[in-house]
A and B are shown apart, each in its own frame.
Chain A
Amino acid sequence: METWKEFEANELTHSAAHHLLAIDELGAKYGGWARVSDIAKELAITRGSVSINLRALKKRGYVVTDEHRMVKLSVKGLEIVQAVQSKKAAFKAFLVEVLNVSEHQADIDSCKVEHLISHETTERLAEFVEQFKHSQPSHTR
């Protein structure tokens, strides 16, 4: 719960959330370490922008860097990524399962709110989706 409080107090921007998600994804193959050039490619922005944004994330303790300017999520950063991913998953499930929104559109829309909705709403949303799925006749699932 503390992580969530911190998350909301820090007001993570959409851009910052995507930097953290990109590091998580790119670093998966290399022990968590990602290159600035790969992050820039992934986010379709310049390397200069990435390095400036990482500077802010480093100051806030979300990432660490090494002497080769490689970057890795800190424990705090990893917690943020997991939180954002679970929010996105819950919201996307709601859109697809309950509102019958297409996978593609649900992916886009859940991305827009993934870093904004609260922990409480995420939990309720996930519970609601589960209840909704179980309340439906089996042939409609």
Chain B
Amino acid sequence: MKSKAELVDDLNHLMAEEVEAFLRYFQLRYRLRGTDWLAAESFFDKAMDETLEHAQEIAGKIRSLGHTPKLEIKLSLAGGPIKLQEALAEALEFEQQALDAYKDFLPRVEGDTMLEDFIRKQIATETEHVQEITMLLE
């Protein structure tokens, strides 16, 4: 079992993954071009809502541990118009990493019922995201 400070540190990293994913979805949404971009916009809107919601949940967990969230991201997003297939492939990359990050974190919270339940729920949700994007890419 990790110390509280180490847990908070890990939670801050997970929160950064989610906030960054939100920003990436935001930017990808407005780069989208091609025949199916209108239909795809709702997918990106939903993804933005969910990633932001996840970040907020993590921030809440950090606060419940008696700390304040620390957000450290280094990001510069650019790029021209993008086709849906390429945008989804990019989304799959960072969604897969978010899933891996939650999976790596799970053994570190064993014994902490609140965090363990939360991380298991996140793994289930992220697994669904990865599967959904993978199916869209097939």
Contacts and interface: CB of A to CB of B under 8 A. Distances in A.
Contact of A36 (B21, B24, B89, B100): B100
Contact of A48 (B24, B89, B104): B24
Contacts, number: 47
B100 A47 contact: yes
Contacts of A45: 73-74
Interface residues of B, number: 20
Contacts of B98: 47-48
A9 interface: no
B75 interface: yes
19 contacts: A36-B97, A44-B72, A46-B16, A47-B98, A47-B100, A48-B20, A48-B21, A48-B94, A48-B97, A48-B98, A49-B20, A49-B74, A49-B94, A51-B93, A51-B96, A52-B24, A52-B90, A52-B94, A55-B93
Main secondary structure of the interface of B (DSSP, over half): helix
B11 to A, nearest CB: 14
B97 A50 contact: yes
B101 interface: yes
A48 B17 contact: yes
Interface in A1-58: 36-37, 44-52, 55
Contact of A49 (B75, B96, B101, B104): B75
Interface string B33-73: 00000000000000000000000000000000000000011
Instruction: Pick the 8 closest A-B CB pairs, nearest first.
Output: A48-B94, A47-B97, A51-B93, A51-B97, A48-B97, A46-B20, A46-B17, A46-B16
B97 to A, nearest CB: 4
A124 interface: no
Contacts of A51: 93-94, 96-97
B74 A47 contact: no
